[in-house]
């Protein structure tokens, strides 16, 4: 992950910006969006985008992407009500895995409120053994802007 402000991704670094509206329940007792909500947004953005980009319901594929790693760095507070966008980018495509680079942007800001990674490992739905990233997923991934790890 980026270590300095100069290394942080900006809104324009992402080909995909997935819109999300904060909910009343997203705020915690401290008056800002709770940290676990950012992870939910990552999951929603990646899988929502995959469904749109493949033109199919990924839940019906014989191969499924299991989340094996996530991380998030929080940089600014967000709250309710607020419209946010999750930037979805590609860090790496391996034989059986995909590493996404993500950033949450609030209120049209160019700087992210949080940045993270999200790793899918593809497995056979029945056996849960790793399989090659499906071609229809690989084709969709070509639409993402790559980031260096």
- Helical ranges in 6-55 per DSSP H: 35-54
**pTM surpassing 0.85?**
yes
Whose structure tokens read 């993500």? Answer: 102
pLDDT-based confidence at 149, cuts 50/70/90? low
Which tens digit of pLDDT belongs to each residue from 97-129? Answer: 999 999 999 999 999 999 999 999 999 999 999
User: What does the alpha-carbon distance between residue 140 and residue 90 come to, in Å, rounded to a whole number?
Assistant: 11
- Cβ neighbours, 10 Å, residue 16: 21
* Segment 33-82, tens digit of pLDDT: 999 999 999 999 999 999 999 999 999 999 999 999 999 999 999 999 99
Residue with tokens 């899918």: 120
Counts for the chain of helices (H) and strands (E), in that order:
2, 5
pLDDT at 6: 63
């Amino acid at each position: 992950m980026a270590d300095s402000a100069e290394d942080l991704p900006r809104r324009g670094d992402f080909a995909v910006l997935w819109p999300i509206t904060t909910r009343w329940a997203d705020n915690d007792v401290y008056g800002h969006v709770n940290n676990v909500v950012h992870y939910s947004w990552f999951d929603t953005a990646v899988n929502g985008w995959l469904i749109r980009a493949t033109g199919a319901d990924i839940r019906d594929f014989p191969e499924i992407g299991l989340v094996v790693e996530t991380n998030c760095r929080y940089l600014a507070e967000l709250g309710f009500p607020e419209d946010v966008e999750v930037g979805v980018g590609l860090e790496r495509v391996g034989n059986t895995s995909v590493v996404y680079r993500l950033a949450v942007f609030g209120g049209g800001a160019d700087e992210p409120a949080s940045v993270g990674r999200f790793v899918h490992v593809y497995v056979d739905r029945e056996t849960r053994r790793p399989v090659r990233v499906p071609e229809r997923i690989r084709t969709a991934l070509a639409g993402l802007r790559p980031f260096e790890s």
